Amino acid sequence: MGITKTDGFSIKITEMAEILKAVGHPARLSIVLHLANTSSCICNDIVEELPLAQPTISRHLSELKRVGLIKGAIEGKNICYCINQDKWKQVELMIGDISEMILAKQKCC
């Protein structure tokens, strides 16, 4: 696996790239959508919803948690996951800023 050079980019840009890379995987995006469509934290339900093995789902959950998009809390023998709304707000604001810049430009092509 190659190393991505991040020197010279702002922390904000590097962090956003990591977040976008994390949700760029179909399994992770499916996990996020599943969590977003539920009103409470989810423990074992994710394994029943996706066509993946439990260890694979655990790895994807770990990656989403690493970039801060989800939170996990231990409840007994289970770890329950939910959306980290503060982090999603940051993502929404940055994507909104980029969108406004793009849409404010005159058409070039």
pTM of the model: 0.82
pLDDT digits (tens, 9 = 90+) for 48-80: 888 999 899 999 999 999 999 999 888 777 788
What is the residue extent of each domain of the chain? 11-104
Q: Which of 8, 5, 12 shows the shortest CA–CA distance to 87?
A: 12
What is the pLDDT at residue 4? 64
pLDDT digits (tens, 9 = 90+) for 10-23: 998 999 999 999 99
pLDDT digits (tens, 9 = 90+) for 20-54: 999 999 999 999 999 999 877 776 778 888 899 98
* CATH number of the domain located at residue range(s) 11-104 in this protein: 1.10.10.10
Count Cα neighbours of 11 within 13 Å in the Cβ-side half-sphere: 0
